[in-house]
Structure formats: structure tokens, C-alpha cells
């Protein structure tokens, strides 16, 4: 009876002790390339000196550091070496990207080289202005297509669907929906004004918002995402698109090659860089991951009215309480600093998108939502519903139509994969991961026999002939070995040849720009990078043919 009549204060104290105990045993591993020197790297590389390797690692447990340094030496070495190189090239990459963007837009806005020359003679040269409706990203110049695939009218199909269940069963795997997702993933690389213009004027859809979100580890607004609906009233479809790895952003590429992970109890190990990109922690203070990822929101469990819609007690008041809860969890935080923390959390991708999504789902009672992204954006796209499940946002997840990712890196280990398969595979598959040929990024971070990092979901693999196969895992999952190197380079030669003829064989919309041809030439040296461009993903969706295996007759 004494236990049953414990005061609330005693209960809260015990709960706090349990939370602290759980936080203290939470495992993590951080790879820090800057911590060790060149000699340490050589000793670790040549003589397999574990003591030297451990210098590059930080962990919750010394045993984890020693075990990881020994068991996954080559994977950690790749992470250290590549990230050291990327770090050295960071500023040159940034300047190169700035010049390339300006030059490409200078040509584009003046009608090409001849147009620029004539405008120069007439004193009418158009100077590109960043963050305007006419300033196109590097990705946009690689592939200038902006219109959706029209053989099947997605909007008409959605309008004709009587129920959300019909949408879920008929639209998953539909080419028009996949095309919308890859085009939205490609569009996410553009600035807000370009995104809004294309969504409204070309796609004839409703633009909801564009977000520049805070990454506390990088200390900048480095995560971008936009939201659209198929129509402004009584929408059937809501789409969330995360921006991916930008070609000249060293931080983005460093994140892709990062091996660091954080272990969430009962869920598994999750890529730390992707958590930071969503605004769910900062490796400089690993307790921040616990504060975000152990939090359990019950507002949705009480807010669901049983009809597939969200009741009014899930609005901003609940969000404010949750943000205040996070701010209050920072021990020793002054009142003014708590307010700053709360405002900072509101600007992070996960919380900003989740708040808006709740609002839209309440407004559009019959709508379901799709999450998509290319490259790093694909990782964030699948991690977003993963955290929704962790936070017990059951009623949001009931409205999930699907997750479509393109060239997505791995986000966690086998335990995480098995956990999420239960939520994204049944009763029908909702997670489709599109991989093109020798694209390097889906093979990152590296996997091994212990399933260090593991993909899950349905893999739609397309080869360089755009033949589709449904697989559990893409071929050559780690991009290692002489055979893979030779075949990847031979394939890049074929892709270069194909770039000159695809416009004639499949129509003018598939003709590749001179800049894309230049990328193919560069791909002769780095085939896995050239294959990562969105161009081949758009082509795969539009031209892809399912591989048919014929059985021999007896």
C-alpha cells in the first residue's frame, strides 16, 4: 500500500533517477578525424595499431572504442581518410561552387555563350541574383526538366479515389507518383522562390512552405525541406521533400562518409550526422540526443478521434509544451537561455515539419502524406517517420502513404531495420528505395558481415539500361574489389556514350545538357559520383522496365 500511495514528488524523483541511469548507459561512437595525426593514421593503416586508431574515436564505453577499432578497421579508416580530404577541400569546394553557380546562371540568363556575347556588346548583360526566381542550382543545370510525367495523370487519379485506403493500395509503386517524388526531390535543391514558382505554375499544385532549418552541430541553417499539397482545399496528397547532398558542400559529403552512430534503446543504432541534420541532437553534447530521442509525446494518442483525422488538442499548445519540456531538460539552464533553446528547437527540421504536418492533416481530413528525398535528403526522409514512430505519433503514421528515396545512404544498423520494417512493410509496403546502377552514396556508410549499417525497405534497382529489379539489397553493397572498380569504369564509359544518343532514342526531353555530359566525363574517374546525379533517377522512373525472368519449359 505504501508504494501505491507514493507522493507525486517521490514518483517524479524516481523517474528522473531512472532517466539519468538510462541516459548514462546509452551507447554512442563518434569518429573524429581531427583528433589523431598523420602518424597515428599510418600506424592504424599499416600496422593495425588499435591504440592509434582509438585516438580518432570517442565513445560512451572504452570497450566499444577498442572493439570497433579492431573489428571495423577498414571502414573506420575510409571514414577518417575521406573526411580528412573533404575537410582540406572544404573552402576550395565552396568557392568552386560559388563560381560554378554564378557562371552557369550567367550563361542561362543570357541565352548561352552567343547570347552573353551579344548582350555584352549591347551593354545588356543580365547579372544573376541569388535567391531569386531565375537563379537555378547546380543540380538544376545538370537536369533542366521541371514538368511532371504526364502519361498518367496523378492529380486526376487522386481526385477519383474514393478513400484513402484506395490511394494506399493503388498508388504505391505507381510511376506518376514516383515521378512526382523524384522531381520534388530534385526541386528541393532550388531556393524557395524557384520551388514555389514550379509547384504553382508548372505542377498546378498548392505550395505550402519552404524551411531553412537549424543544424546545431554545424551552427547554421543547413537543412532544407519544402511541403506541397495536390490542391489548396480538400487535398488528397501532402508531399514533404528534403534537400539532399549539395555537390559543393563539404559538410554534406562529410556526413555521408561519417561512421558515427548513436544507439537508441530498443530501436537500434542510428547515423549521428543524419540525426543532427534533423535537429535531434549535437555530438558536442551527446545528452542532447537523449533529450530528443527518449521523449514520448502522448498528445496524439489522446487527439485521435477514430475517423482518421486529428482533433484540436494536437495543435500548437501541445507543441509548446514539448519544446518547453526539452528546454527544461537542460540542467542548470537559466530562464532566458531556456527560451533561446526553445526557439532554436522550433527551427529544426523535425519539429518544424512535424508541427506543420499536424496542422495540414487536421485541415485536410482525407489527405495522406508522402516523404521523399534524394541522397542525404533520402536519409532524412526515412528517418523522419522513424522518429515519429519513436515519439509514438501513431495518428500521423496512420496517414502515411509512403516513403520514396533516391540514392539514399544507410541510416542505421540491422536492429533499426527490423524495427522499422514492422511499421513500413505491413500490411502493404510503404517504403521504396530507388538505387541507380553504380551510385556510390547508397553504399555508404559501409556495411559488413556484422550488418554494421543496413538498408531496409523495398529496393528498386535500375541498371544503366534502366531495367528494374526488386531486391532486398543493391548489388555490390560496399563498392569494394577490383571487379567492381573495373565494371564501374566500363559502365561509366557506356553512360558517356549513351548521353550523346539518348535524346535521339527516347525523345528531346531526355537530351542531356552540356554540363551533364561534362559530369559524365568527370565520372570516368569517379563513376560512383556521376551515377549519383538525379538525371539517371528521373530517367529510371520514366523509362524503367521491370525485368522479366522466363522459366524454362520441360
Give per-residue pLDDT as tens, 369-394. Answer: 999 999 999 999 999 999 999 999 99
Enumerate residues 6+ apart whose C-beta is below 8 A from 250.
Answer: 86, 87, 89, 90, 93, 94
Residue 230 pLDDT > 60: yes
Does position 512 have pLDDT exceeding 80, yes or no? yes
Local structure of residue 285 (DSSP, 8 states): B
| pLDDT above 80 (res 537) | yes
Catalytic residue selected from 439, 447, 536, 540: 439
pTM above 0.85, yes or no: yes
- Using pLDDT thresholds of 50, 70 and 90, give the confidence band for residue 302: very low
Percent of the chain clearing pLDDT 70 (strictly above) = 79
d(CA 59, CA 65): 6
CA dihedral 462, 466, 468, 471 (to 10 degrees): -10
Structure confidence at residue 12 (pLDDT): 40
The question of whether 202 is a catalytic residue gets the answer no
Which residue out of 161, 260, 299, 375 is catalytically annotated?
375
Residue 307 confidence (pLDDT) above 70? no
CA angle 395, 268, 214 (to 5 degrees): 65
Whole-angstrom distance, CA of residue 150 vs CA of residue 85: 44
Sequence spans of domains, the chain:
26-87, 129-461
Q: If we measure between CA atoms, which residue out of 275, 240, 224 comes closest to residue 379?
A: 275
Residue 223: how many other CB atoms lie within 10 Å:
26
In terms of pLDDT, which residue wins out, 294 or 453? 453
Is the four-CA dihedral 493, 495, 496, 497 of positive or negative sign?
A: positive
Helix (H, G, I), strand (E, B) or coil at 239: strand
Distance between CA atoms of 275 and 282, rounded to whole angstroms?
A: 8
| Averaged pLDDT, 14-29 | 57
Active site includes 143? no
pLDDT in tens, 235-246: 999 999 999 999
Rounded-to-10 torsion of CA 135, 528, 85, 259: 100
Catalytic residue among 251, 532, 536, 540: 532
C-alpha cell recorded at residue 469: 529489379
Say yes or no to pLDDT of 513 above 50.
yes
CATH architecture of 129-461: 3-Layer(aba) Sandwich (3.40)
pLDDT per position as a tens digit, 318-343? 455 555 555 555 544 555 545 555 66
Of 48-52, 135-139, 208-212, 546-550, the poorest mean pLDDT is in 546-550
**Is 532 an active-site residue?**
yes
Distance CA 171, CA 66 (A): 48
Beta bridge partners of 405: 373, 433
Amino acid at each position: 500500500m505504501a508504494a501505491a500511495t507514493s507522493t507525486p514528488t517521490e514518483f517524479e524523483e524516481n523517474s528522473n533517477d531512472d532517466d539519468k541511469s538510462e541516459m548514462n548507459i546509452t551507447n554512442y561512437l563518434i569518429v573524429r578525424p581531427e583528433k589523431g595525426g598523420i602518424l597515428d593514421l599510418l600506424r592504424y593503416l599499416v600496422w593495425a595499431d588499435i591504440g592509434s586508431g582509438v585516438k580518432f574515436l570517442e565513445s560512451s564505453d572504452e570497450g566499444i572504442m577498442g572493439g570497433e577499432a579492431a573489428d571495423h578497421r577498414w571502414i573506420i579508416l575510409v571514414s577518417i581518410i575521406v573526411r580528412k580530404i573533404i575537410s582540406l577541400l572544404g573552402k576550395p569546394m565552396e568557392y568552386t561552387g560559388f563560381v560554378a553557380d554564378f557562371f552557369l546562371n550567367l550563361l542561362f540568363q543570357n541565352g548561352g555563350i552567343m547570347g552573353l556575347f551579344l548582350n555584352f556588346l549591347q551593354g545588356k548583360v543580365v547579372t544573376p541574383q541569388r535567391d531569386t526566381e531565375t537563379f537555378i542550382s547546380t543540380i538544376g543545370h545538370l537536369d533542366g526538366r521541371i514538368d511532371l510525367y504526364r502519361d498518367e495523370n496523378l492529380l486526376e487519379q487522386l481526385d477519383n479515389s474514393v478513400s484513402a485506403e484506395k490511394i494506399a493500395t493503388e498508388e504505391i509503386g505507381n510511376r506518376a507518383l514516383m515521378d512526382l517524388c523524384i522531381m520534388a526531390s530534385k526541386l528541393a535543391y532550388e531556393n524557395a522562390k524557384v520551388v514555389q514558382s514550379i509547384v504553382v505554375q508548372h505542377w498546378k499544385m498548392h505550395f505550402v512552405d519552404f524551411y531553412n532549418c537549424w543544424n546545431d552541430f554545424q551552427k547554421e541553417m543547413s537543412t532544407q525541406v519544402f511541403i506541397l499539397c495536390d490542391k489548396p482545399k480538400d487535398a488528397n496528397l501532402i508531399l514533404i521533400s528534403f534537400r539532399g547532398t549539395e555537390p559543393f558542400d563539404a559538410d554534406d559529403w562529410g556526413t555521408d562518409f561519417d561512421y558515427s552512430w548513436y544507439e537508441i534503446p530498443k530501436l537500434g543504432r542510428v547515423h549521428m550526422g543524419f540525426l543532427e541534420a534533423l535537429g535531434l541532437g549535437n555530438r558536442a553534447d551527446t545528452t542532447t540526443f537523449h533529450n530528443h530521442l527518449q521523449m514520448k509525446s502522448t498528445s496524439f494518442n489522446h487527439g485521435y478521434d477514430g475517423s482518421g483525422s486529428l482533433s484540436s488538442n494536437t495543435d500548437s499548445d501541445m507543441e509548446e509544451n514539448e519544446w518547453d519540456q526539452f528546454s527544461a531538460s537542460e540542467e542548470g539552464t537559466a530562464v532566458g537561455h531556456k527560451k533561446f533553446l526553445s526557439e532554436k528547437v522550433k527551427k529544426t527540421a523535425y519539429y518544424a515539419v512535424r508541427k506543420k504536418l499536424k496542422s495540414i492533416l487536421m485541415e485536410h481530413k482525407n489527405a495522406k502524406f508522402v516523404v521523399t528525398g534524394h541522397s542525404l535528403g533520402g536519409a532524412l526522409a526515412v528517418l523522419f517517420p522513424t522518429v515519429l514512430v519513436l515519439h509514438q505519433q501513431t495518428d500521423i503514421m496512420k496517414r502515411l502513404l509512403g516513403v520514396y528515396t533516391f540514392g539514399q545512404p544507410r541510416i542505421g544498423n540491422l536492429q533499426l531495420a527490423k524495427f522499422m520494417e514492422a511499421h513500413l512493410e505491413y500490411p502493404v509496403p510503404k517504403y521504396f528505395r530507388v538505387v541507380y546502377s553504380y551510385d556510390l552514396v547508397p553504399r555508404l556508410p559501409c556495411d559488413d558481415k556484422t550488418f554494421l549499417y543496413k538498408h531496409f525497405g523495398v529496393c528498386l534497382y535500375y541498371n544503366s539500361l534502366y531495367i528494374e529489379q526488386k531486391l532486398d539489397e543493391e548489388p555490390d553493397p560496399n563498392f569494394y574489389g577490383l571487379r567492381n572498380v573495373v565494371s564501374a569504369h566500363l559502365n561509366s564509359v557506356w553512360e558517356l556514350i549513351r548521353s550523346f544518343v539518348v535524346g535521339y532514342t527516347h525523345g528531346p526531353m531526355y537530351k542531356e545538357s552540356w554540363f551533364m555530359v561534362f559530369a559524365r566525363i568527370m565520372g570516368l574517374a569517379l563513376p560512383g559520383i556521376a551515377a549519383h546525379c538525379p538525371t539517371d533517377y528521373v530517367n529510371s522512373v520514366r523509362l524503367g522496365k521491370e525485368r522479366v525472368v522466363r522459366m524454362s519449359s520441360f
